[in-house]
Each structure stands twice: as structure tokens, then as C-alpha cells.
Amino acid sequence: MARTRGGKQKEGIGETIRTIVWAIAIALVFRTFLFQPFWIPSGSMKSTLLIGDYLFISKYSYGYSKHSFPWSLGPFDGRIFASEPERGDVIVFKHPRTNEDFIKRLIGLPGDRIQMRGGRLFLNDEEVPQARIADFIEPIDPSRTRCIDKPTIGGEVVCAKEAWTETLPSGRSYTVLNADGNLSAATDNTRVFTVPEGQYFFMGDNRDNSNDSRQGVGFVPYENLVGRAEIIAISSDGPFYEIWNWRWSRFLTVIR
């Protein structure tokens, strides 16, 4: 018996709805258990990560907690399939009090003693070595003009920040920035932080412009880790639709 036109239309609508439902389900599974996209909204991780970087974080790196699920609606407490993070990992985590997404570098493991003295990192009472490299140069941001020098390049006033390669005891290296000549009492000279069991200590690579475990964030519980930053997929210094603002050299860059 032939179907009526109305019956065909209903069948077509039903198929469309099923397709949309399956697409949403697959996207939720992918985002929850495999990879989650993440946009960098601030400069606290310069020069490793820049405002406008779009990256993927691996959700399986440290196992899963309720924060692995959208809106932190996981049906359990603690972590399952847990794996310990490594010092130096760049990690997205939930702020312990506000539940906002933050991204910083893991500096302190449980039991570690962390202190900043004169802008230098001390880990378990040993200074972490730094080696001076070329300044990090960027245009002046009217809202954030803290920088050691403000030279003029090509007629434009820019901000020059000291850049250093910092090397952890494991041999892992990354770049950190010094924006104000180690004069920031709150971030460059701190008390000794002893990391409690089951918690972690994070810092931004842009050391003088980062709200992290040294001040507002504090220690971060293991349960709050969301995932490890893996790769910068694309990057744009402006609205994404403005192709001329794309930072092509940062596309598909592995995060270290």
C-alpha cells in the first residue's frame, strides 16, 4: 500500500530528529570521554598559550570525575580509571570555589614545598634553573601594561617581557615570562606552600599576570582536574571569521 505524502513527510521529520539526537549523543560522548575543545580567554599562560588559541584537551589522561561531564553533572564522586598527572603538564581544572574552568601548568605534586623568591621558583628547597632567552614582544594592551620595557618597533609601542626557559628536575622545559622585574610581592616573593595529599599546585607561565595557586586559586583537588592540554588546533588574533588574523604558525602545535 502506497504511503501518503503526509506519511512521507512525517517519516522524514522523524528521521531528521533521530539523526540530530544521534549527532548530539556522539558529540557528548566524544567531549566527555575523549577530547574537549577549549578556548584561551586570558594571557596567564603566555607565551605557551595566547588569547585566541583554540585547543583540545584529553579527557582520559587522568581518568574521569564528575567534572569530566558537562556542567560537572557526573553521577559519582572521586575519580575512576585514575592516572596521576606529571609535574609540568598544562591542565584544565575547575576552580575549587567558583567551579570556573582554569588552565595552568602543574608545578606542585602532593607533599611538595613550593616557594617563589625574587621571581625564581624553588621546589622542595631547590631553585629550579632558568636560562635567559630573547624577550617576548607583544602590542601594548591598554588594560594590562605591566612590562619591563616599552620600546617602539615600526612606530608602534610594544610591551617587552623578559623570557626564560625554566627546567624542572625531570628535565622538562618551558618558557616563563617576567613582566615587572621581580618586584611583585604577591607573586614573586611568597611563603612556602606545602601541597596537601590529594591536591595540586598550579602556576601560569606568565608569572606576573596569573591568578593561580599562589593567591586566588589555592590548592586544587585531584577530583577537579578536567584534562590535559594536548594541541593547539587553530589560533586567531581577533574574530575567527577574519582569516587575516589567523596565526598560521600555531596551527596543530603540540603543547609542552
* In the chain, where the domains are located: 12-254
Higher pLDDT, 151 or 88: 88
Q: Which amino acid is at 33?
A: F
190 sits in which H/E element: none
Predicted local confidence at residue 15, as pLDDT: 73
Q: Which pLDDT belongs to residue 138?
A: 81
Taking the model in full, what pTM does it have? 0.86
pLDDT score for 20 = 77
For cell 574552568, what's the residue?
Answer: 101
Place of cell 615570562: 177
Cell of residue 116, nine digits:
617563589
pLDDT surpassing 90 at residue 11 = no
- Write out pLDDT tens, residues 163-179: 999 999 999 999 999 87
In this prediction, what percent of the chain has a pLDDT beyond 90? 59
* 93 close to 102: Cβ distance less than 8 angstroms: yes
Strand locations in 140-239 (E): 152-153, 156-167, 173-178, 193-194, 199-203, 220-221, 225-235
3-state secondary structure of 103: strand
pLDDT at 171: 94
Nearest Cα to Cα of residue 227 among 112, 110, 85, 95: 85
Q: How confident is the model at residue 239 (pLDDT cuts 50, 70, 90)?
A: confident
* Bridge partners, residue 165, by sequence: 131, 175
**143 pLDDT above the threshold of 60:** no
Active site residues: 44, 104
pLDDT at position 150 is 65
Dihedral sign for Cα 121, 172, 131, 254, please. negative
What is the C-alpha to C-alpha distance for residues 56 and 255, in angstroms, rounded to an integer? 10
Residue 159 in contact with residue 47, Cβ under 8 Å? Answer: no
- More confident call, 239 vs 3: 239
pLDDT band, very low/low/confident/very high, at 29 (cuts 50, 70, 90): low
Higher pLDDT, 137 or 50: 50
**Residue 213: phi, psi to the nearest 5?**
-65, -15
Domain at 12-254, CATH from 2.10.109.10, 2.30.110.10, 3.40.190.150, 1.10.274.10: 2.10.109.10
pLDDT tens per residue, range 67-86 = 998 888 888 888 998 899 99
